[in-house]
Chains A and B, each alone.
Chain A
Amino acid sequence: MGQRVAIVGTGQTYHRSSRKDVNGVELIQEATARALEDAGLTRKDIDAVVIGNMDHFEGINYVDMWSIDGNGGLHKPIMKVTTGGTTGTTVAIAAFYHVASGLFDTVLAIGWEKNSESDTTAAIITCADPFWERPTFGGAIAGLATGALGYMHRYGITERDAALISVRDRKNAVKNPYAHLREEITVEDVLNSPMLAYPIKLLDICPRTDGACAVVFASEEKAKHLTDRPAWIHQVSTRHNYTFFTDVDRSGRMPTLYEACMEVYRNAGIKDPLHELDVVEMYTPSSFAGLVWIDALGVCDEGEAVKLVSDGVTEMDGELPINPSGGVISTNCIGATGLIRVAEAAMQVSGKAGEHQVPGAKTALATGFGGCHWSDVLLISSRKPS
C-alpha cells in the first residue's frame, strides 16, 4: 500500500541565458551528475528516470529517448512527462509516484530547457487552440497581461504593488549561486522597464534561461542509508480544469492553485498555512500573478496579498518567506523551473540552501503553474509523514 518517499539529493546547473558550451544532452548530464553526487549515488543505483521539457522549445521529438546519454536512463525504465510550465513539478510528482508505488526505490527526476535554442513565444503560442485563440494569443506574456489587468481592475492593485514581487525575488536571487539574474532591482527599475504587453513590463516577467535540474527521490528504506536530512514528500496535488483560456473562472482566487492547495492542506491536516508553513517556493510567472495568487495559498483573505507583501511577511526574515531562491522571475528554464521549486524547497527543509537558507525551515510548499491554469502543489517536510 505505498511507501514513504523522500528527496535525498538535488542538482542544478548554473542557469544562464545561453549555454553555447554544451548541447542539451550535456546540459542535462551536468544537473544529473550533481544530483547523484549530492545523494551519494552513481547511475547504477538509479531504478528509473522521469524527464520533462517542452518539445517545441528545442525542436526535438521524444526527448526522453534523445537524451539517454545524459539522463542516466540507458538500460533503465524511463518515461517523459510534459505539461508546459508545470512540467518540472509534474516530473517531480511522477517521480514521487514511481517510488510511492513500491515498484522503484530510487528514481531520478530531471527537468531542463535550452530556451536559447528557439523562439519561446512562438512555441508557446502553439499551445493555444489553432482556430480560436492562436491568432490573438501573444504567448505567455500577453496571456498573463490580460490576467494582470483583470487583477488591477478587480482588486485595485497597481503596477507599483506588483513590482514589489520582482524586487523581492531578485534580491533573494543574489544569494543563490545557481540563479540566472543575480542583480538587485528597485521598484523604479521595474516601472521604467520596457512595456511588453500592458501592464507587463520586462522586469515583471520571467527571463528566458538555459538550465537543468535533477532531483533524486528515494524510498524510506533507501533514504535511511543515504542521508540524515531527507526531505519527505507529504502531499501532492494537481488541478487543471480548462481547455480554453477564456473558460477560466476568474470570479475568485486563482481557481486551480486554490483547489490544489486546499487538497494538500486537508490531507496533511494543515489548518493555518501562514504559520504552519515555514517557506514557499512559488511558481510566479509574472509579478502580478506572484502577488495576487498568494491568497490562493490560503495564507490571507482574497485580494489581501498586497498588505502581506508590503508588511514584509514574505521577505526572508518574515513570517512566511516566499522564493528564497529568487523564484521564476530570476530564473526560468521552463522545463526545469517547476522542478527547481521542488529542489529548492527540499534544500530548505534539509538545511542545504547555503546563503539563501531560511533558518529552521522544516515544512515547505512548492507550486507549479502552466498550461491553462495548470497548478501543481507539493508539501515537503523534514518531519517524516505519519
Chain B
Amino acid sequence: MERVAIIGIGQTKYERSKRGETFADLVFEVVTKALEDAGIGIEDIDNVVTVSNDFWDGRTISSMAVTDACGAYGKNVSTVEGDGTFGAFYGLMRILSGSFRSTLVVAHCKGSEGSNHLITNAMFNPIYERIIGLDSISSSALQARRYMEKYGVTEEQCALVSVKNHRNALKNPFAQIAMDITVQDVMRSTMLSDPIKLLDASPISDGACAIILAKEEMAKKVATKPVWVKGIGHSADAYNLGDRDLAEPEALIRAAKKAYQMAGIQEPFREIDVAEIYDAFSYQELLWSEGLGFCERGEAGGLIESGATDMGGDLPINPSGGVISAHPVLVAGLARIAEITIQLRGDGNGRQVDGAKVGLAHGINGPCGQAHCVWILEK
C-alpha cells in the first residue's frame, strides 16, 4: 500500500451538552483546528468526507447541515454513515486511488439532542427485536453477560477498565468524564441493565473530530510529524443478535488480521506500543483486547489486573480515557485515530506513552460491535 500519513487533527472538548453550538459550528471548529495543526489552508484540501448519521442528527441527509462548515464548496465530497474509522477508511481509499493528494475527514454528533434510547432502539429489527425495547445499553448487557459467563470474567475485572480509563482521562483536556474512582464505586453505582452499571457505561456526549490524510509527497513537504498508516482492516458480523455468539468477536478478529498482515505485525501485544480501543462499556475493552490478540481468549481480565494495560505498563490501552470517558457516537472512532496520532507525535503531554512508535486505533459500528475497523499507525 502506498504511504499515506495523517498530517492534521482537531477535536472539540467532549461535553454532555453543547447547547450553544450547531453541528456546523462543531465541524467548523475542528476543521479549522485540523488545518492549523497541519499548517495548510482549505485550498490545500482536495476532497472531503463527512461522517454523520440521520437518526442521531434528527435530520435526513445529515451531511447537508455541515456542507458550508466543512469546506466542501467547489470540492469533491462524500459522506459515510458509520463510525469515523470507516469514514477515514474511505478518505484513505480516495487518496490511494490516485485522484486526490489529501482528504479531510470530519465527524460530528450531538447525543444531547435526541433520545439515545429511541435512536439506538431503531438499530434493531423493527418486527422482532424493537418491541422488547432493546437499545445500546440492554443489548450490550446481553453481550457482557454472555462474555462473562463463557470465560469467567468478573464484574470487578470489568470495573477495573472504568477505574483505569476515567483516571487516564484526568490528563486529557478533551475528555468529558475524568475522575479518580475505585472498583467499589463502580460496583455500587446504579444498575442500568444487569450487569452494566452507570460507571461501566460511556456517557452521552456532544463533539466533533477532524483528521487530514495526505499522500507521502505532500505529507513530507507539509508535516513536521507525519503519522503513517501502516495497516487497516474492517469486517462485519451477523446482524440478528441470536445469529452470533456475542462472546466471540469474529468481525474484530478478521479486521485485526487484515490490519496486522498489512502492517507486518505478528505479535500484537509485543509490537504495539499504545492502543485506543472502543470501550463503549467497560466489558468491551476486555473483549476487544482479546479479539485484537493482545492476550488469549478469556485472559483479558487477568491482563488488566496485571497492570499491563495501565499507563506505564507493557501496552497502555486508552491513555485518553477512551470512549467510556467521552462518547460522541461516530466521532469516537475518529477520536481514537486522533489520540494515537497525538501519542506517536509525542504530543501527549500528561497522557504520553513514552517512546510510542506503533499505535492501534479501533472503532465499532452497529449493535454489540457488529462491525469493527482497525488502524495501525506508525511514527
Q: CB within 8 Å of B: which residues of A?
A: 1-2, 23, 54-56, 59-62, 64-69, 73-84, 90, 93-94, 96-98, 100-103, 123-124, 126-127, 129-130, 237-243, 247, 259, 370-372, 374
Residues of chain B with a CB closer than 8 A to A77's CB? 233-236, 255
Pick the contact of B370: A23, A65, A129, A259 (CB < 8 A). A65
Verify B54–A54 contact, CB threshold 8 A. Answer: yes
Residues of chain B within 8 A (CB-CB) of A240 are: 63-64, 67, 72, 77
Least CB distance from A296 to B in Å reads 16
- Known contacts A77-B235, A79-B234, A101-B96; A124/B64 CB under 8 A: no
**Chain A residues near B250 (CB, 8 Å)?**
75
The contact of A126 among B60, B82, B255, by CB within 8 Å, is: B60
Would you call B90 an interface residue if the criterion is a C-beta within 8 Å of the partner chain's C-beta atoms?
A: yes
Of the four ranges (under 10, 10 to 19, 20 to 34, 35 or more), the interface on chain B belongs to 35 or more
**Do residues A2 and B120 form an inter-chain contact, with CB atoms below 8 A?**
no
Residues in A whose Cβ lies below 8 Å from that of B68: 242-243, 247
Name B88-108 residues within 8 Å CB distance of A: 89-90, 92-99
Whether B154 sits at the interface, judged by CB under 8 Å, is: no
Q: B residues engaging A (CB < 8 A)?
A: 1-2, 24, 53-55, 58-61, 63-69, 72-82, 86, 89-90, 92-99, 119-120, 122-123, 125-127, 232-240, 250-251, 254-255, 365-367, 370-371
CB distance from B232 to the nearest CB of A (A): 8
Q: Would you give 21 A-B contacts (Cβ < 8 Å), ordered by A?
A: A2-B97, A2-B98, A61-B123, A65-B123, A65-B236, A65-B239, A65-B367, A65-B370, A67-B239, A77-B235, A77-B236, A78-B234, A78-B236, A79-B80, A79-B86, A82-B79, A100-B99, A101-B94, A240-B63, A243-B64, A371-B64
Q: Is the CB of A372 within 8 A of B123?
A: no
Taking a contact as CB atoms under 8 Å apart, the answer to whether B1 and A102 are in contact is yes
- Taking A83-B79, A130-B59 as known contacts, 18 extra A-B pairs with beta carbons closer than 8 A to each other, sorted by chain A number, are A55-B55, A55-B60, A66-B239, A74-B237, A74-B238, A77-B235, A81-B80, A82-B79, A82-B81, A83-B63, A90-B79, A94-B90, A100-B93, A100-B97, A102-B96, A240-B77, A243-B68, A370-B61
Q: Which residue of A lies closest to B94 (CB)?
A: A97
- Closest A residue to B73 by CB, please name it: A241
Q: Is the CB of B236 within 8 A of A68?
A: yes
Contact present for A76 and B54 (CB under 8 Å):
no
Bound-state CA distance A155–B96 (Å) is 44
Among A59, A96, A100, the residue within 8 A (CB) of B98 is: A100
Interface residue from A75, A81, A90, A241 paired with B67 (Cβ < 8 Å):
A241
How far apart are the CA atoms of A182 and B308 in the complex, in Å?
Answer: 67
Known A-B contacts A56-B60, A78-B371, A79-B82; the reply to A61 vs B120 at CB < 8 A is yes
Contacts of A80 in B (CB 8 A): 80-82
B174 to chain A, nearest CB (A): 26
Contacts of B119 in A (CB 8 A): 61
Complex Cα spacing A80 to B78, Å? 11
**Is the Cβ of B78 less than 8 Å from the Cβ of A93?**
yes
Q: Let me know if B64 and A81 touch, CB within 8 A.
A: no
Give Cα A83 to B86, complex, Å.
Answer: 16
In the complex, chain A residues whose CB is within 8 Å of the CB of B75: 239
Find chain A residues with CB under 8 A from B366 CB.
62, 64-65
- How far does the alpha carbon of A82 sit from the alpha carbon of B86 in the complex, in Å? 13
A55–B370 CA distance with the chains assembled, in angstroms? 18
Residue of A nearest to B98 (CB): A2
User: A75 near B251 (CB under 8 angstroms)?
Assistant: yes
Which residue of chain A is the closest to B258 with respect to CB atoms?
Answer: A77
Closest Cβ–Cβ distance, residue A134 to chain B (whole Å): 10
For A237, the chain B residues whose CB sits under 8 A away are 76
Task: Point out the residues of chain B lying under 8 angstroms from A78, CB to CB.
Answer: 234, 236, 371
Whether B236 lies near A76 (C-beta < 8 A) is yes
Query: CA of A242 to CA of B77 in the docked complex: distance in angstroms?
Result: 12
Known contacts A241-B72, A372-B64: does B59 contact A79 (CB below 8 Å)? no
Specify which of A75, A101, A241, A259 lies most central, judged by the most chain B CB atoms within 10 Å of its CB: A101
Contacts of A241 in B (CB 8 A): 67, 72-74
In the assembly, what is the distance between CA of A79 and CA of B364, in Å?
12
List the B side residues contacting A93 at CB < 8 Å. 78
Is there contact, CB below 8 Å, between A371 and B251? Answer: no
Q: Which residues of A contact B65 (CB under 8 A)?
A: 129, 243
Contact A64 B236 (CB under 8 A): yes
Cβ–Cβ < 8 Å partners of A75 in chain B: 235-237, 250-251, 254
Inter-chain contact A2/B78, CB cutoff 8 Å: no
Residues from chain B with a CB closer than 8 A to the CB of A59 are 122, 126
| Contact in complex: A127, B61 (CB < 8 Å) | yes
Q: Is the CB of A55 within 8 A of B236?
A: no
List B contacts of A79 (CB < 8 A).
80, 82, 86, 89-90, 234
A166: min CB distance to chain B, Å = 25
For the complex, give the distance between the alpha carbons of A97 and B77 in Å. Answer: 13
CB distance from B138 to the nearest CB of A (A): 15
Contact partner, B78, options A61, A69, A238, Cβ 8 Å = A238
A374 to chain B, nearest CB (A): 8
The CB with the most chain A CB atoms within 10 A, among B72, B78, B90, B123, is that of: B78
